Amino acid sequence: MDQETLTSAQAQLLATIRERADRGDPAPSYRDLCAEFGWASTGTARDHLRALARKGYITLGGGRARQVQLVEKPAAVARVRLLGRVVAGIPEEAVELHDGEIAVPAAWLGRGRHFALRVSGESMSGAAIVDGDTVIVREQTTAQNGEIVVATVAGETTVKRLDLGRKGIRLIAENPAFAPIDARDGEITVHGVVVAVMRCLATTAPARPIKGRTQMTHRQPQRNCT
């Protein structure tokens, strides 16, 4: 259920409570609020706080100002199609696999259709896109210079940064171990622009330490995120 609209005074009061919370300060007392807003009576402060509580923006423990707690609405979530794997390395033939859907913050998406792809390879590591990540892609057939795109060149698909320079259209890796991919106009098909990257840090199983001493290993744990 949506929260009710606030009056100007209630909105200012809520902003003050949030600012104090962000600084780590305690909630204001009735007298604090009267001094800040020029209210003559603590009853005015109490009434505004009760209105905020009634409209769902705060809770009042025992009705006391010092026990005010903010009520934040949960972030909106959207679901996008997970279409399989894209190579961040040497391009290879694309195989579209419908792997269901994944949930992402709606604020990442904006307008248009979106899809998700799991990344294989390390050619975009300089752009913080590494093997095992999931990229969220806005579906479109054009892109601006410098954007990270999912594109097909000569029947093979990859994720790279688009370079529209004097040397023509190029797909640039963010890893010096990978050479740029040159493509004449008409040889490249853009499928979308990367708008977000998701990474799972969970492992299949935690390492079991040896009792009484610290155990270190350089083996890369496998991520197991669905």
**pTM of the predicted protein model:** 0.60
39-45 contacts at long range (C-beta below 8 A, 24 or more positions apart): none
Decide if 55 is inside a domain: yes
Q: Say which residues have a Cβ less than 8 Å from residue 161's Cβ, sequence separation at least 6.
A: 124, 127, 146, 147, 148, 149, 171, 172, 173, 174
160 among known catalytic residues: yes
- Nearest by Cα to 70 from 146, 16, 119, 1: 16
**112 is written with which tokens?**
């248009």
- Which of 70, 95, 112 lies at the terminal end of a domain, its last residue? 70
Residues 110 and 86 placed together within one structural domain of the fold:
yes
- In terms of pLDDT, which residue wins out, 166 or 118? 118
Token duo for residue 105: 């913050």
81 and 66 in a common domain: no
Interatomic CA distance for residues 155 and 114, integer angstroms: 22
- pLDDT for 213: 41
Burial class of 98 by CB neighbour count within 10 A (0 to 12, 13 to 18, 19+): exposed
Residue 47 sits in a domain whose CATH number is: 1.10.10.10
106 pLDDT band, cuts 50/70/90, is confident
- Percent above pLDDT 70 for the chain: 78
pLDDT tens per residue, range 34-93:
998 999 998 998 899 999 988 888 888 765 556 788 887 666 778 899 988 888 765 554
> Domain range for residue 133?
77-198
Mean pLDDT of the chain: 81
CA distance 3 to 68: 17
On the question of pLDDT at 172 being above 80, the answer is yes
Residues 183 and 107 in one domain: yes
Determine what percent of the chain is predicted with pLDDT higher than 90: 36
Same-domain status, 48 and 91: no
If asked whether residues 173 and 65 sit together in one domain, one would say no
89-113 average pLDDT score = 72
**Torsions phi, psi for 8 (to 5 deg):** -60, -45
User: Are residues 184 and 89 located together in one domain of the fold?
Assistant: yes
pLDDT tens for each residue of 175-219: 999 999 988 766 899 999 999 999 877 555 555 554 444 333 334
Same domain, 119 and 62: no
Number of domains in the chain: 2
- Tell me, yes or no, whether 182 and 124 share the same domain: yes
113 and 64 in a common domain: no
Residues 87 and 43 in one domain: no
Q: What is the DSSP letter of 96?
A: B
Residues 82 and 154 in one domain: yes
Say which of 123, 125, 167, 211 is annotated catalytic: 123
pLDDT greater at residue 136 or residue 102: 136
* Cα distance between residue 55 and residue 108, in whole Å: 28
Residue in 41, 160, 167, 211 annotated catalytic: 160
CB neighbours of residue 84 within 10 Å: 15
Note whether residue 171 is domain-resident: yes
